[in-house]
């Protein structure tokens, strides 16, 4: 990292950037209120920081050990910029702002009628953003894989329904992409692109999605440590896309015997991640629980831990849902969760790092 003097000129900054590129690294220039800080993207061990330290306009040049320096609050503080929570604007909705955001909808889009019915229900319940899976990650090849598995035309048709449902009920929409081949098509229809837990480690996919310049809902893998999760999020920010919504969705349960829940919601990750990065973090109580009777408690707990919002699976008729019916709640139950979570949020007050 190169910290420029407060009176460094544009030419001096440009010179430093040029020198960084000579070593095969990219430069991430943060022009803060007080000074400019230049982050190095790539292998810093190749860089002779002592040489950079004596370039004109340079105040300090040093190696940063953290693997996620671009998203770290500490690094952002040095430039006097972005150390505050990043607020991601999607339409009229702000994620990471003063109020919690509720994303809701079916696990999988099953039909136009199903999607519109659920979209109406979640809107009435107070949701801000509509979710709906079209390419479903499934453990078994014999399970319903989402309408996108039917081919390009079927995928486009479902994406159109999603876009239209979002327009009709005035909600931005989010859907998951499972592979690089889906990115271009999906980006044309949705406001937020979701990268699921199973793809958290796919750096080529992260890079490709980030280059679309759209907000990304990025889920933690169920076996990933917090440092790993943030390190991989850095791949997207290195592509100059800082609109990353992190999502804690449960990690693998420990110990032998019945685990009672599908995963273990890692509530500790919420305040830890908020201290480490300015990116907003939300909670997915549905996949963490895997049981609809736990969704209320985990939702309240997530908001109490300081999460910027929730993503919840909702179905008007959960027993008939083609995917994840066991954890789907009804729009009425969502309404109760949203109103309670607003009260929880009010009770704990604004979160700061
Ligand atoms: C989903 O949100 O539909 C999903 C599959 O979640 P996860 O990637 O967290 O399992
Ligand atoms: Mn699901």
Taking the chain (353 residues) in runs of 10, the rounded mean pLDDT of each run is: 93 96 92 86 90 94 88 82 83 95 98 98 98 96 95 97 98 98 98 98 98 98 98 96 98 94 98 96 98 98 98 97 97 98 93 57
Which tokens is 348 given? 């704990």
Cβ within 8 Å of residue 265, ≥6 positions away: 248, 249, 250, 283, 285, 288, 289, 298, 301, 302
Q: Say if pTM beats, i.e. exceeds, 0.75.
A: yes
Which tokens is 81 given? 């910029």
Q: Which long-range contacts (CB under 8 A, 24 or more apart) does 290-294 make?
A: 290/261, 290/262, 290/263, 290/326, 290/327, 291/261, 291/262, 291/326, 291/327, 292/318, 292/326, 292/327, 292/328, 292/329, 292/333, 294/261
Q: What pLDDT score was predicted for residue 130?
A: 98
Which tokens is 79 given? 């430039």
Ligand 1 environment, Cβ below 6 A: 107, 133, 137, 176, 196-198, 219, 249, 284, 287
CA of 80 to the centre of ligand 2 (A): 40
**Distance from C-alpha of 311 to C-alpha of 353, rounded to nearest angstrom:** 22
CA of 5 to the centre of ligand 2 (A): 50
Q: Is the Cβ–Cβ distance between 173 and 165 less than 8 Å? A: yes
Indicate which residue's Cα is closest to atom 3 of ligand 1: 107
3-class SS at 281?
strand
Ligand closest to 321 (CA) is 2
**Distance from C-alpha of 299 to C-alpha of 1, rounded to nearest angstrom:** 39
By CB atoms closer than 10 A (0-12, 13-18, 19+), residue 289 is buried
Show the beta-strand stretches assigned E in the chain.
2-4, 26-31, 36-41, 58-61, 88-90, 93-95, 101-105, 129-131, 173-177, 192-195, 216-219, 244-248, 281-283, 309-313
3-class SS at 190?
coil
Q: What pLDDT score was predicted for residue 349?
A: 84
C-alpha dist (Å) from residue 180 to 177, 186, 273: 8, 10, 27
Ligand closest to 262 (CA) is 1
Which tokens is 217 given? 């809902």
CA of 238 to the centre of ligand 1 (A): 24
Q: What pLDDT score was predicted for residue 85?
A: 87
Q: What pLDDT score was predicted for residue 81?
A: 63
Query: What is the torsion angle, in degrees rounded to the nearest 10, for the CA atoms of residue 138, residue 139, residue 140 and residue 143?
Result: -30
CA of 290 to the centre of ligand 2 (A): 9
Q: What pLDDT score was predicted for residue 352?
A: 56
Ligand closest to 248 (CA) is 1
Indicate which residue's Cα is closest to atom 6 of ligand 1: 196
Taking the CA of residue 311 as reference, the ligand 1 atom at the shortest distance is: 2
Q: In 3D, which of 222, 183, 185 has the Cα closest to residue 200?
A: 222
Q: What pLDDT score was predicted for residue 74?
A: 85
């Amino acid at each position: 990292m190169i910290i420029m003097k407060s009176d460094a000129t544009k030419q001096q900054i440009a010179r430093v950037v040029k020198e960084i590129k000579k070593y095969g690294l990219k430069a991430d220039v943060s022009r803060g209120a007080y000074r400019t800080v230049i982050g190095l993207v790539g292998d810093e061990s190749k860089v002779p920081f002592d040489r950079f330290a004596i370039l004109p306009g340079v105040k300090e040049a040093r190696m940063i050990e953290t693997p996620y320096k671009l998203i770290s609050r500490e690094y952002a503080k040095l430039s006097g910029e972005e150390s505050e929570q990043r607020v991601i604007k999607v339409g009229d909705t702000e994620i990471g702002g003063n109020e919690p955001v509720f994303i809701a909808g079916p696990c999988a889009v099953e039909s136009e009628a199903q999607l519109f019915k659920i979209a109406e229900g979640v809107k009435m319940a107070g949701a801000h953003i509509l979710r709906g899976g079209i390419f479903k990650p499934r453990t078994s090849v014999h399970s319903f894989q989402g309408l996108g598995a039917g081919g390009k035309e079927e995928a486009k048709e479902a994406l159109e329904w999603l876009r239209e449902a979002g327009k009709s009920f005035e909600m931005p929409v989010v859907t998951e992409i499972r592979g690089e081949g889906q990115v271009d098509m999906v980006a044309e229809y949705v406001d937020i692109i979701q990268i699921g837990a199973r793809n958290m480690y796919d750096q080529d996919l992260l890079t490709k999605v980030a280059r679309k310049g759209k907000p990304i809902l990025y889920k933690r893998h169920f076996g990933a440590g917090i440092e790993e999760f943030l390190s991989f999020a850095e791949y997207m920010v290195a592509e100059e896309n800082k609109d990353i919504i992190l999502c804690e969705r449960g990690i693998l349960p420990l110990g032998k015997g019945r685990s009672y829940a599908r995963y273990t919601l890692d509530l500790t990750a919420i305040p830890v991640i908020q201290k480490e990065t300015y990116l907003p973090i939300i909670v997915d109580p549905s996949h963490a629980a895997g049981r609809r009777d736990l969704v209320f408690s985990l939702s309240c707990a997530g908001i109490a831990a300081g999460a910027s919002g929730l993503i919840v699976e909702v179905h008007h008729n959960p027993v008939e849902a083609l995917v994840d019916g066991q954890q789907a709640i009804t729009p009425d139950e969502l309404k109760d969760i949203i109103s309670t979570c607003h009260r929880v949020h009010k009770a704990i007050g604004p979160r700061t790092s």
